[in-house]
Structures are given as C-alpha cells and as structure tokens.
Homo-oligomer: A and B are copies of this chain.
Amino acid sequence: MSLLVVGSIALDSIFTPFGETADTLGGSAVYFSVAGSLLHPVQVVGVVGSDYPRAELERLASRGIDWSGVEQAEGESFRWKGKYSYDLQSRETLETRLGVFADFRPKLPEAFRSSGYLFLGNIDPELQLGVLEQITHPKLVVCDTMNYWIKGKKDALMALLERVDVLMVNDSEARELSGDWNIHRAGRWILAHGPKRVVVKQGEHGAMLMEPGRTFYAPAFPLEEVFDPTGAGDAFAGGFMGYLARIGSISEDSIRSAMIYGAVMGSYAVAHFGIRGFDGVTLIDVQRRVRTFRDLTHVALAELMP
C-alpha cells in the first residue's frame, strides 16, 4: 500500500550557533520523504516555484521518492528563515515567504488517490482537508499542524481533526490547541476531538504516544552533537509512517514500534544542516540504531519485581 505526503517544499535559510545555510532544500514534505523512503517508497504532493532547484529534488528520486505530484508554478518558492538559540532549545522565525504556496490547490495524480498511508504535513488545514478528500480509502491518516494555523484557522483545523487517525504535534502546539498546559490533559482534550491517537514530540525529551487510557514514551537518541533541529519532527513522521507502510500494519504494537523508527529518523535529521544528516544512511544503519534504542529503556523484569 502506498505512502503519500503533502507538505511544504521549501528553501530554508538557517542560523545555528555552528554555522548558517542559505536557500537549502527543506520543508515538511522533503524531510518526511527523505526519512520515510529509507523504509518505504514515498509519493509527494506539493508545489515549488520557478526558482526551485528541481535537479536537487530529482537526485533524491533514486531513494524511492516519487515527485510526480509536485507542481511547478510561476513565482517564488516557499522560503523560511530561522535562527536557533545557543543551546538549540528555541528558535525564532526571521522570515516566512509563502510564494507559490499562497495559491496552491493540491490536485492529486490519479495514481496517488488510492494511497493507504497519508501524512498531512504542516500546511494550511484547508489544503490538508483538500488532499484528504481526494484519497479514496485511506488506511491511516496522520496530520501535523503548527501554532500559526491553531491561531488563524482553528475551525478548519478542528474539522480536519475529526477526520484524522493521529495528530502529531510538538508539546507547545498540543498545549496551545487544547488551552491546557498539562500535557496529559492536553492529550486527552485532543483525543476527545477526533483523533484516536496523539503523538507529542518533545525534542531532546523524545516523543509520547497517547491513546485513551494508555501512554507510551519513546526516548530521544542520546546525542552529544546536535547541529540543526530543523525538520526533526517531519523526519520523525517519515520514520513513523514509513515503518507502518513497510510492515502493512497499524496494530497497537506496530504503532509503538513506529514511534521508535520515528525517533531514529529524528536523530539523523538533527545531526547536520538540512537533510544532510541522512547522507549515506542505509536501512542497516536504521535497524542498528533501532536496536540500540531498545536498550535505552530496557529493564530486566526479574529485577523490577523481585
């Protein structure tokens, strides 16, 4: 069953304490696909402007990324410029230029409409809904959002939530959406508004999967060097969805394992500027890191309950 993502395809300019880049490949759909395609082929829906370095995208096609759903429109590509604090714990958006994204109305190629696994990356919830409506029989629909849409398009977002299986957001977004600072109450609020599951990404503290009456924690990989957190959440989503599409299951156990694959992809994303953290990473590397993840929370049961 195929895996589809709709999201931004951007040119990012990033300032970190360790250096800076200008107009580098970025955006939620790009991070998602680069991570997800390590596990399963990915179909992408999005738009780029006439100034986009399409050759760089095409080079990534050999990984199993199908860019045929990406329109090229007259005008400027989506651009984001941001600056991280010295400890990478916070970031400031210096500039967002929607460019061709302002008038984007996603139209899926016929071959994409039968997708089973759908990730609605962080774009206008009306566009997310527009894509969802073109999918005939989705098996699992996961969506992301951000404070900008929570503030500006709350109604559309709430309508979308009623139709998705999993909301995947970071902790500040979950708090803002629910209006509750306690993350567990925030999660319960979201579960009462549509999604069957909530994934709360917490950066260096890992990610949490909330289901009614049950919680699962995936730690973050212990990294002594974090270079650029941009895209870590989308890479997480790529690992999560790529794993599920690969094994073709959405059982409770599978979803927990998918959290670990997500965390592994997040750990690659932050290791370098842009998508460079994935350079040379193979499925074998991913599986090796998954195995080391297990040890991060492993307790011998005989010891625990003597």
Contact = CB atoms under 8 A, between A and B. Distances in A.
A184 interface: yes
Given A184-B222, A217-B219, A256 B303 contact: yes
A274 to B, nearest CB: 21
A103 interface: no
A68 interface: no
Contact of A290 (B215, B253, B305): B305
A223 interface: yes
Interface stretch (A2-10, A56-64, A199-207): A199-207
A114 interface: no
A300 B256 contact: yes
Interface in A253-306: 253-254, 256-257, 260, 287, 290-291, 294-301, 303-306
Nearest to A248: B306
A216 interface: yes
A260 to B, nearest CB: 6
Contacts of A297: 216-219, 297
A104 interface: no
Contacts of A181: 86-87
A204 B297 CA distance: 16
A303 B254 contact: yes
Contacts of A253: 299-300, 303
Interface string A178-201: 000111110010000000000000
A183 B204 contact: yes
Contact of A184 (B214, B224, B305): B224
A226 interface: yes
A22 B296 CA distance: 41
A170 B298 CA distance: 22
B224 A217 contact: no
Interface string A210-240: 0000111111001111100000000000000
Contacts of A218: 297
Contact of A291 (B206, B247, B305): B305
B287 A217 contact: no
Q: Which 6 A-B pairs have the closest CB atoms?
A: A297-B297, A217-B219, A205-B205, A87-B181, A253-B300, A257-B303
Given A216-B296, A216-B297, A253-B299, 9 more contacts: A185-B224, A205-B205, A216-B295, A216-B298, A217-B217, A217-B297, A247-B303, A256-B300, A294-B299
19 contacts: A87-B181, A182-B225, A184-B223, A202-B205, A206-B217, A208-B222, A215-B222, A216-B297, A219-B219, A251-B303, A253-B303, A254-B303, A256-B299, A256-B303, A290-B304, A290-B305, A291-B305, A294-B301, A294-B304
